[in-house]
């Protein structure tokens, strides 16, 4: 069974809720999914997933949520090479901010720098347009993961 490490960044629970729904969906598609709410690099590496899936909101001015920031900094400092391992990012944001989806962008750039292969271009979900981000995230995930 292919493994997915689902790494979440959330302040008010929106991205967290999407991640929980995503976990159920992906488990239903036959994946073994580990959800990391306080991700620690060594734990994620030890799980040895085929795919790293990041679902994160943006806070402050383009900032990474507090629960995800230590993981981001650890990856940046230790630079573990993914060697072609796949990743995907779903970014929740609000287009009224100049730094729209800034946290998702920072994660996307970093995972590409450590030589991950992006499964699909980052999905941005705009809180100005969508009150229920899971209604966009789940069909997108199903499309990316049903045959991969
Ligand atoms: C204080 C605050 C700062 C925010 N800053 C940004 C930002 O810089 N860029 C952005 O795209 N969205 C920003 N947002 C919007 C959130 O990312 C968006 O509402 C998201 O859906 C919240 O998800 P969460 O409940 O998982 O934290 C901000 C929201 C708040 C309340």
- 49-62 pLDDT, tens digit per residue, is 999 999 999 999 99
Q: Which residues line ligand 1 (CB under 6 A)?
A: 10-16, 57-62, 92-94, 97, 99-102, 127
- What is the rounded CA–CA span in Å between residue 71 and residue 99? 21
What pLDDT was estimated at residue 136? 98
Q: Which residue has the tokens 């090479």?
A: 81
Give the model's pLDDT for residue 84: 83
Report the separation in Å between the CA atom of 137 and the middle of ligand 1, taken as the mean of its atom positions.
16
Average pLDDT score over the chain? 97
| pLDDT on residue 148 | 67
In the predicted model, residues of the chain with pLDDT beneath 70 are: 148
Residue ID of nearest Cα to ligand 1 atom 29: 59
Domain span at 13: 3-145
The CATH number of residue 55's host domain is 3.40.50.360
Name the one residue in this structure whose structure tokens are 């901010």: 97
Tally of structural domains, the chain: 1
Report in angstroms the alpha-carbon separations of 45 from 42, 83, 99: 5, 13, 30
DSSP string, 118-137: ESSPPEEEETTT-S-THHHH
φ, ψ at 113 (rounded to 5°):
-60, -35
Q: What is the pLDDT of residue 147?
A: 73
């Amino acid at each position: 069974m292919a493994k997915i490490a689902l790494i979440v960044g959330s302040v008010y629970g929106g991205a967290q809720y999407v991640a929980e729904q995503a976990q159920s969906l992906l488990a239903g598609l036959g994946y073994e999914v580990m959800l990391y709410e306080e991700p620690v690099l060594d734990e994620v590496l030890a799980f040895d997933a085929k795919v790293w899936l990041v679902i994160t909101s943006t806070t402050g001015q383009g900032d990474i949520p507090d629960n995800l920031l230590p993981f981001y900094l650890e990856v940046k400092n230790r630079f573990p090479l993914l060697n072609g391992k796949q990743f995907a990012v779903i970014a929740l944001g609000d287009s009224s901010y100049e730094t729209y989806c800034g946290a998702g962008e920072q994660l996307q750039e970093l995972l590409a720098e450590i030589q991950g292969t992006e499964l699909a271009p980052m999905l941005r979900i705009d809180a100005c347009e969508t009150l229920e981000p899971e209604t966009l995230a789940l069909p997108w995930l199903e499309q990316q993961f049903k045959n991969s």
